[in-house]
Amino acid sequence: MNKTYLLYGYAIAVVIDKGLVRITNDEALKSVAAVQPLVFAERLVDLIQADYRGAYGETLAIGRLSLIVEIVGHLYVEYCLLKYSMLFRIIFPFGLYNRFRRSCEVIDCGERRRDPNRWFWDRLVPLRGWLGKRLAKAKTTN
């Protein structure tokens, strides 16, 4: 199911499938997340969860905080990859840099059975405040 969420004047494109959510990481997403990344991500996650329940009659089996961290984490990683591209091209040779960049274009968030990285985002939940502050600071100094 294709959805467009209007948040703070920006249209955020999301595809919701059984056990999987795909968020388009475009200028609209970056703009709405620039000032208060956690507030925006919380609102987006609540909207996605409500539509998922409506479509499938059950809750998306991704913890709310894990999903928030995954969204903010992808945005911050992409910011770092772009800002320090020369360094990261050296650190990640043989096309790895480009692969990481491409993986940030669409934020794929899946339930454990569909997303082998779910454990990673679950473990980063305690760092959500730090990630949110880093992303907000990065966006305001750019």
- 41-52 confidence digits (pLDDT tens): 999 999 999 999
Tens digit of each residue's pLDDT (9 = 90 or more) over 6-30:
999 999 999 999 999 999 999 999 9
Whole-number pLDDT of residue 141: 58
**Alpha helix (H) residue ranges in the chain:** 27-33, 37-56, 64-83, 85-91, 96-105, 118-123, 128-141
pTM reported for the whole predicted model? 0.92
Taking only the tens place, the pLDDT of each residue in 45-91 is: 999 999 999 999 999 999 999 999 999 999 999 999 999 999 999 99
User: In the Cβ-directed half-sphere of 123, how many Cα atoms lie within 13 Å?
Assistant: 4
Mean pLDDT of 95-113: 91
* Domain ranges across the chain: 2-141
